[in-house]
């Protein structure tokens, strides 16, 4: 009998997560893209209420905290929440934060009906057993006229990258492997599937950005370090343009209620 899929967390992997995700060129590109995309929101003078779902150690939400907005930081892993709290204390940002250790599925109850001007959900859905079920929960947490900042692991880009690097058997096996790698997302999401889920729940995309449209296709990865500033400039130049945006390893979509 096949094992049922379970949600994954990074419990016990805080240091490895920080090293593998953000202390790299790919992590720096991710943060730079999100910072550019969401600047019109965190640079607002009117204080916003921000929810960071699966916020990890809390790097990106600091853009909002530093501009005077209040952030509710959540993560399923207790050590991630503790690391985020310590990080924000060291940065003298703690007064701008509230913390909860909870899964996405628990948030409506934990937050007792609260809704938010901005909901950040970055690189979370691909770790869930049933990613589609997240959309109505995220909508429930979003104020009317609010913004859902959704970043998800792009299945189409994963197919493309593996074809470029000659992993034909893996692609032919529909991206399935016998042994799971804990730090590698197991539920990449095709853009067409995401569009269908959003439409089903009356959510509309207002902006699409590809994250790492070029980096992950480099033949010589050392070029990312040697020419990082130039690579980043080109990523930012092209990552909202067709066809490059669709090739981003992650997709960052800005989403609102369809009737807004």
Q: What is the pLDDT of residues 20-52, one digit of tens each?
A: 566 789 999 999 999 999 999 999 999 999 999
Beta strands (DSSP E) in 57-214 are 70-75, 97-101, 116-122, 142-153, 203-211
Q: What is the pLDDT of residues 78-133, one digit of tens each?
A: 999 999 999 999 999 999 999 999 999 999 999 999 999 999 999 999 999 999 99
For the chain, give the mean pLDDT: 91
Q: Which of 183, 43, 198, 55 is nearest to 119 (CA)?
A: 55
Residue 3 forms part of a structural domain: no
Tokens of 180: 């799971």
Residue 70 forms part of a structural domain: yes
Residue 122, marked binder? yes
Residue 176 forms part of a structural domain: yes
Question: Are 204 and 257 within 8 A, CB to CB?
Answer: yes
Residue 19 forms part of a structural domain: yes
Domain count, the chain: 1
Residue 7 forms part of a structural domain: no
How many other CB atoms are found less than 10 A from the CB of residue 226?
9
Tokens of 160: 């493309």
Long-range contacts formed by 45-52: CB under 8 A, 24+ apart: 48/117, 48/118, 49/114, 49/116, 49/117, 49/118, 50/116, 50/117, 50/118, 50/119, 50/120, 51/107, 51/111, 51/114, 51/116, 51/118, 51/119, 51/120, 51/141, 52/120
Residue 143 forms part of a structural domain: yes
Residue 75, marked binder? yes
Q: What is the pLDDT of residues 131-171, one digit of tens each?
A: 999 999 999 999 999 999 999 999 999 999 999 999 999 99
Q: What is the pLDDT of residue 3?
A: 44
Residue 2 forms part of a structural domain: no
**HSE-up (13 A, CA, CB side) for residue 172:** 4
Residue 9 forms part of a structural domain: no
Q: Is the pLDDT of residue 211 over 80?
A: yes
Residue 30, marked binder? yes
Residue 117 structural domain: 14-257
CATH number of the domain that 21 lies in? 3.40.50.150
Residue 166, marked binder? no
């Amino acid at each position: 009998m096949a094992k049922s899929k379970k949600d994954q967390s990074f419990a016990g992997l805080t240091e490895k997560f920080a090293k593998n995700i953000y202390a790299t060129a790919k992590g720096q590109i991710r943060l730079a893209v999100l910072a550019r995309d969401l600047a019109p929101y965190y640079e607002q003078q009117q204080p916003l209420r921000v929810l960071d779902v699966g916020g990890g150690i809390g790097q990106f939400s600091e853009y909002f905290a530093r501009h005077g907005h209040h952030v509710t930081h959540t993560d399923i892993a207790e050590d991630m929440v503790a690391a985020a709290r310590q990080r924000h204390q060291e940065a003298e940002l703690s007064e701008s934060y509230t913390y909860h250790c909870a899964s996405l599925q628990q948030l409506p109850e934990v937050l007792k009906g609260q809704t938010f001007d901005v909901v950040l959900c970055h690189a979370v859905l691909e770790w869930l057993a049933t990613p589609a079920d997240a959309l109505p929960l995220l909508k429930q947490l979003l104020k009317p006229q609010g913004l859902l900042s959704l970043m998800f692991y792009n299945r189409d880009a994963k197919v493309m990258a593996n074809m470029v690097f000659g992993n034909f058997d893996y692609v032919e096996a529909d991206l399935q492997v016998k042994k799971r790698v804990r730090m590698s997302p197991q539920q990449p999401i095709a853009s067409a599937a995401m569009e269908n889920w959003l439409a089903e729940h009356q959510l509309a995309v207002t902006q699409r950005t590809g994250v790492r449209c070029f980096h992950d296709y480099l033949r010589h990865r050392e070029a990312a370090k040697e020419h990082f500033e130039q690579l980043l400039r080109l990523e930012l130049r092209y990552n909202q343009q067709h066809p490059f945006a669709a090739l981003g390893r992650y997709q960052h979509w800005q989403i609102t209620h369809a009737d807004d």
